[in-house]
Structure 1
Amino acid sequence: MSVKIRLQRHGKKQKPFYWIVAADARSKRDGKYLEKLGTYNPNTNPATIDLNLDQAVQWLHNGAQPTDTAKAILSYKGALLKHHLDGGVRKGALTQEQADAKLAKWLEEKAGKVDTKKEGLSKAQEVAKAKALKAEKEANDKRAAAAVEAAKVEEEVAVEETPEVAAEETPEVVAEVAVEETPEVALEETVAEVAPEETPAAEETSEETEA
């Protein structure tokens, strides 16, 4: 039976989560498997990998063939290195202690690199967050300053326009009232004064004529 070490998809839509399994090469990708070797979560940065190193190496010793993605994961976790060192021990090229020391050194260096990457990512996130907060604060300050300036301008315009309206409109109203009322009053008074004075004179003239 041909065995493959591959990924079996789990998780939600657009948030995949994988199991690392040893399965019959003829079975479906998400079908039955022989043994679960670990998990792989690509949603984190860096990706989170939990692998049973000894069991994975044992399957490699038994002839299991990893897929490309599974091979990259096994290499990342040191399974391929341990498989290679165990082969050297079997051939007598080095002792088990030497193989274990080399593997431990490699794992330590790898962990240091991962920690350095995590620290770099954390610092980058903090810097980005600080820049975003600063930009948001500046935008809020600008909006507040613009609102205050707009309020001042409106207040100044209101103060300047009110006296001008009163000064411009009042004389016109007074002038219109004067123009409309004065002629009629003056005409009526003139007629009233002239009529009584002129009537007797007319009567005296007619009497002299008759005489």
Structure 2
Amino acid sequence: MATKIRLQRQGRKGRPIFHIVVADSRAPRDGRYIERLGIYNPNTNPATIDINFDKTLDWVQKGASLTDTSRAILSYKGILHKNHLLNGVKKGALTLEQVEEKFSKWLDEKESKITNKISLLSDSKNAKTIANLEREKSLKEAKAAKILLKNSALAEEVNTNSETSGETQVEIESSVETAVEENANVEPETTEESVSIPSTDEVSSDETPENSSTQE
């Protein structure tokens, strides 16, 4: 039976997780499998790969074929490199001690590269976080300064209006006092008509001749 090491999709939409499995090459992608070898999670940076090294190496030595993605994963984890070294032992070019020595050296270099990459990613993330915090701080300070300037302008406007109102009130009071003083200096007009009283002589001269002859 021809076998193939491939990925079987799991997880939810938009965030897939893949099982690394050995299956019959004729089986559908997400169908039955013979053995599960590990998990590949591409949602992290760097991607998370948890694989059973010895079992996977055993299947590779048995002749299991590989898909492009599974080949890249096995190469990244050093399984294909270890298989290449073991083939050198079969040909008599290397001993097992040399294989272990070479593979340990390769593994140390690989781990160092991975550690450096994680460190760089962490530093980059921290720098980005610090830059975002500084940007937010500057925006808050600018907003606070703008609000303070606006409040100062409003306070100045209120003070100006208060001073203007005070001056207007003083002018009104002064006008009222002036009007009161002017009204006090004006002489009141006489409302009653003056009546002239005739003298006694005028009354006597006004008597008619008829009255005089009657007395005689």
TM superposition score category, shorter chain reference:
0.7 to 0.9
1:163 to partner: Cα distance: 1.9
Residue 83 of structure 1 aligns to which amino acid in structure 2? Answer: N
1:174 to partner: Cα distance: 7.7
Matched, 1:40 2:51: no
| Residue of structure 2 equivalent to 1:73 | 73
Helix, strand or coil: the match of 2:195? helix
Change (3 A) 1:68 1:173: farther
Residue 63 of structure 2 aligns to which amino acid in structure 1? Answer: G
Helix, strand or coil: the match of 1:11? strand
- Give 1 or 2 for the bigger CA radius of gyration: 2
Helix, strand or coil: the match of 1:49? strand
Deviations 1:130-180 (A, max 9, x none): 11111112222222222222222211110111121343466469869x99x
> Distance in 1 between the 2:132 and 2:26 partners?
52
TM-score (norm 1): 0.81
Change (3 A) 1:95 1:160: same
Unmatched runs of 5 consecutive residues or more in structure 2 = 207-216
List aligned pairs for 1:109-188, cutoff 5 A: 109-168=109-168, 171=171
1:199 to partner: Cα distance: 5.0
- Across the aligned residues of Structure 1 and Structure 2, the Cα RMSD in angstroms comes to 2.7
Deviations 1:34-83 (A, max 9, x none): 11111111111111111112211211122211111111000000111111
> Distance in 1 between the 2:27 and 2:71 partners?
19
> Distance in 2 between the 1:173 and 1:19 partners?
94
More helix as a share of residues: 1
> Distance in 2 between the 1:163 and 1:77 partners?
82
> Distance in 2 between the 1:103 and 1:54 partners?
14
1:13 to partner: Cα distance: 2.4
> Distance in 2 between the 1:130 and 1:136 partners?
10
Percent identical residues: 41
> Distance in 2 between the 1:173 and 1:89 partners?
117
Deviations 1:66-106 (A, max 9, x none): 11111100000011111111111111121121122111111
| Residue of structure 2 equivalent to 1:86 | 86
| Residue of structure 2 equivalent to 1:62 | 62
> Distance in 2 between the 1:66 and 1:174 partners?
105
1:120 to partner: Cα distance: 0.7
Helix, strand or coil: the match of 1:88? helix
Helix, strand or coil: the match of 2:50? strand
Matched, 1:200 2:195: yes
| Residue of structure 2 equivalent to 1:28 | 28
Residue 195 of structure 2 aligns to which amino acid in structure 1? Answer: P
> Distance in 1 between the 2:135 and 2:145 partners?
15
| Residue of structure 1 equivalent to 2:96 | 96
Helix, strand or coil: the match of 2:28? coil
| Residue of structure 1 equivalent to 2:209 | none
Residue 121 of structure 1 aligns to which amino acid in structure 2? Answer: L
